[in-house]
Structure 1
């Protein structure tokens, strides 16, 4: 039986590696049906998460795959993937939002910035919509007719 000498592929050429970039991957890929434009962040984020996961790149935005030290062999592959992911994120954002994250150098920092800015806004508007829907339903009941303005303001203050 002959011995097989296997030469390992560089990390960027192993299809199961997060550093692998498929030849069909382009920096201007539309991952979601609509670019994010200040509303619907939770849906946009979920769609992007699914797309990044299918590309084996989710760890770059969640921070699981950290930037290696400059002297490590994987540094260049990490940098290449990180830059590709940044371009994917920016391409799937509205132009004004993309400009606001243009000078971030790490995809995970862009992701965190977007979460910090828009996750809380989505949650606030969702809660406000639920309260408005509840108030709308109550407008048809007798209880609403006896609700004072200060009671209604208290409900709205509670939402914040």
Structure 2
């Protein structure tokens, strides 16, 4: 990490290995050295039946890490190419990290349904549409069909 202009930032560069630009600690694009793909945001494992409880636990964990904006869509993917946009590189890294964190708290049988989704916001939207209580009529219909 380097201290530049009074702010501590990471040594993430433009993707080409040239000049580096700081990502402020307060930015949702900042990843701490302790952030790793093996991190578990919650002990609640999503199994397809406990969406509401799981979603709240995950949102709490992401909020604590200043990453909630990735799932609610407020942290948008920057435009441009990685060669000249260090924020795009940082966004991609954060998006990949959060995808790993989500996989760690989702039952492995559900992994194929999110494996090829490009962004965390898309994963979150898809899971919510499929499993949230707002789908109560569909859930009731499926349960009725099962009985």
TM over 0.5: yes
Larger % of helix: which? 1
1:114 aligns with 2:127: yes
Q: 1:45 to 1:124 in 2, by over 3 A?
A: farther
Higher strand content, 1 or 2 = 2
Distance 1:111 1:104 in 2: 10
8 Å contact from structure 1 (residues 11, 17) kept in 2:
no
Greater RCO between the two (CA within 8 Å, min separation 6)? 2
If you compute each CA radius of gyration, which structure gives the higher value, 1 or 2?
A: 1
In 1, Cα distance between the equivalents of 2:60 and 2:76?
A: 20
Q: Deviations over 1:59-85 (max 9, x none)?
A: 011111111113333110000000001
Match of 1:77 among 73, 82, 90: 90
- Normalising by the residue count of structure 2, what TM-score does the alignment of the two structures yield? 0.74
State which of 60, 63, 66 in structure 2 corresponds to 1:53: 63
What runs of 5+ residues in structure 2 fail to find an aligned partner? 10-20
Tell me how large the CA RMSD over aligned residues is: 2.5
Corresponding residue of 1:63: 73
How many residues in Structure 1 have an aligned counterpart in Structure 2?
Answer: 124
The 8 Å contact of residues 11 and 19 in structure 1, kept in 2 or not, is answered as no
